[in-house]
Homo-oligomer: A and B are copies of this chain.
Amino acid sequence: MKEIYMDYNATTPVDPGVSEAMLPYLREKFHNPSSIYSGAKEVKKAIEEAREKVARLIGTKPKEVIFIGGGSEADNHAIKGVAFALRGKGNHIITSAIEHHAVLHTCQFLEKMGFEVTYLPVNRYGIVEPEVLKEAIREETILVSIMMANNEIGTMEPIKELAEVAHERGVLFHTDAVQAVGKIPVNVKELGVDMLSLSAHKFYGPKGVGGLYVRWGVKIPSLIHGGGQERGRRAGTENVAGIVGAGRAAEIAMEEMDEEERKIRPLRDKLEKELVGRIPQVIVNGHPEKRLYNTLNICVKGIEGEGMLALLDMNGISASSGSACTSGSLEPSHVLLAIGLPHEIAHGSLRFSLGKYNTEEDVDKVIEVLPWIVERLRAMSPFWKEKEDA
């Protein structure tokens, strides 16, 4: 059975052009870029070229881009970096209730270290309202970190406005743009952010390679100390093949982004319309318009997510759920709770995130299969019968 992959927000296969670009840097061009012989210089050059490509993708200069071991590391680096650099100035950090765990757990760690953290609420669409941020900023606030697009529900935050609010009060602004970069145009200068995290494997690049934009002039300590790589900002022998792959992926994203949106958005819209039409009692999560064009997050009332995923999987469909049961905790997705869903509904969530290898047949298959799956599980559910009885 051919797999129908609809979990592109979780990760993506590398583009064939990316693996092709990476291969030579595993074997022939394996040199340590810090070395001084000829072979090493070529490798160094390849890294700098990759940096230029990533910089171009986010509208900045190469010297403002650090390569780093993934999106989570980028978030940790930015947030802990500011915390340590500015701990003399203040101990208050603001973020939102719907951030990725890479941000939330970092903030919780900093709370243990004596920092205070405000987790801003969001509205029912998952939007952080600039007024709400404005109110939360204090004298001691040293950092605001708000994600650009939410990984679960796809809602896109008003980053430009939020960054302005922070800057009015002289506070640094970081955005976790891991789900945005490569999917939608991102320009750090227009957004006016001070730091931005990205991750290659979300846009057809390799896993384990991320990028952090740090505006020139922002001085934060390294998270990983050691050699002078990345101008002393991220120690460790560079993941050369990975970095080259990230560069190539950035280049391809620049070229294909428009076309991808044109192709993927109608597929997502069809999926949404048909599922909502065919399955009673389905809620669509996230903002109706300010939402990533590839993301559909729904809650199916009366049943729990994992069972749906398992049955989808048996039909060759790979999707995900913010359901507690897939993560091993008893709490459902913190994002769905933050947008105000009750626990029992949040438990029934499903996320389809589409990508460039999806076809209309893929969508049709899901539309065909999911209603039947839902019916089957609802037949076992005490809540569903209850509802019908009522």
Instruction: List residues of chain A with CB under 8 Å of any chain B CB.
Output: 3, 5, 7, 10-14, 16, 18-19, 22-23, 26-28, 30-32, 34-40, 69-73, 75-76, 84, 100-103, 105-106, 108-109, 113, 199, 201, 206-209, 221-228, 235-242, 306, 309-310, 312-313, 317-320, 326-328
Tell which of B35, B71, B113, B221 touches A7, judged by Cβ atoms closer than 8 Å: B35
> A109-B221, A201-B237, A237-B70 are known contacts. Are A19 and B11 too (CB-CB below 8 A)?
no
Residue ID in chain B nearest A43 by CB atoms = B11
Give complex CA distance A206, B26 in Å. Answer: 7
Establish whether residues A318 and B73, one from each chain, have CB atoms under 8 Å apart when the complex forms: no
Q: How far is the CB of A56 from chain B (nearest CB, A)?
A: 23
Establish whether residues B30 and A19, one from each chain, have CB atoms under 8 Å apart when the complex forms: no
**Interchain Cβ contacts under 8 Å between A and B, 22 examples:** A3-B39, A12-B30, A19-B26, A37-B309, A37-B317, A40-B318, A69-B236, A70-B237, A72-B227, A76-B235, A101-B226, A101-B227, A105-B225, A106-B225, A109-B221, A206-B239, A207-B237, A207-B242, A208-B238, A208-B240, A223-B224, A242-B242
Residue ID in chain B nearest A30 by CB atoms = B13
Give complex CA distance A102, B232 in Å. Answer: 11
Establish whether residues B26 and A225, one from each chain, have CB atoms under 8 Å apart when the complex forms: no
Establish whether residues B106 and A226, one from each chain, have CB atoms under 8 Å apart when the complex forms: yes
Give complex CA distance A100, B34 in Å. Answer: 15
Other A-B contacts than A101-B225, A101-B235, 11 sampled, CB-CB below 8 A, are A37-B318, A39-B318, A71-B236, A72-B226, A72-B237, A73-B224, A101-B226, A105-B226, A208-B237, A208-B240, A228-B328
Q: How far is the CB of A229 from chain B (nearest CB, A)?
A: 8
Establish whether residues B223 and A223, one from each chain, have CB atoms under 8 Å apart when the complex forms: yes
Establish whether residues A19 and B23, one from each chain, have CB atoms under 8 Å apart when the complex forms: yes
Residue among A36, A100, A312 with the highest chain B CB neighbour number at 10 A = A36
Question: Which residues of B sit under 8 angstroms from A72, Cβ to Cβ?
Answer: 224-227, 235-237
Question: Which residues of B sit under 8 angstroms from A236, Cβ to Cβ?
Answer: 69-73, 102, 208
Residue among A222, A225, A235, A320 with the highest chain B CB neighbour number at 10 A = A225
Give complex CA distance A67, B235 in Å. Answer: 17
Establish whether residues A225 and B109, one from each chain, have CB atoms under 8 Å apart when the complex forms: yes
Question: Which residues of B sit under 8 angstroms from A38, Cβ to Cβ?
Answer: 313, 318
Residue among A18, A31, A222, A224 with the highest chain B CB neighbour number at 10 A = A224
Establish whether residues A35 and B235, one from each chain, have CB atoms under 8 Å apart when the complex forms: no
Question: Which residues of B sit under 8 angstroms from A327, Cβ to Cβ?
Answer: 228
Residue ID in chain B nearest A69 by CB atoms = B69
Question: Which residues of B sit under 8 angstroms from A10, Cβ to Cβ?
Answer: 31-32, 34-35, 237
Give complex CA distance A241, B200 in Å. Answer: 14
> A14-B27, A70-B236, A235-B105 are known contacts. Are A206 and B76 too (CB-CB below 8 A)?
no
> A75-B226, A76-B224 are known contacts. Are A237 and B199 too (CB-CB below 8 A)?
yes
In the A-B complex, the 8 residue pairs with the smallest Cβ-Cβ separation, listed nearest first, are: A208-B239, A69-B69, A102-B226, A72-B236, A13-B30, A105-B225, A72-B226, A70-B236
Establish whether residues A207 and B313, one from each chain, have CB atoms under 8 Å apart when the complex forms: no
Give complex CA distance A73, B77 in Å. Answer: 12
Tell which of B13, B242, B320 touches A35, judged by Cβ atoms closer than 8 Å: B320
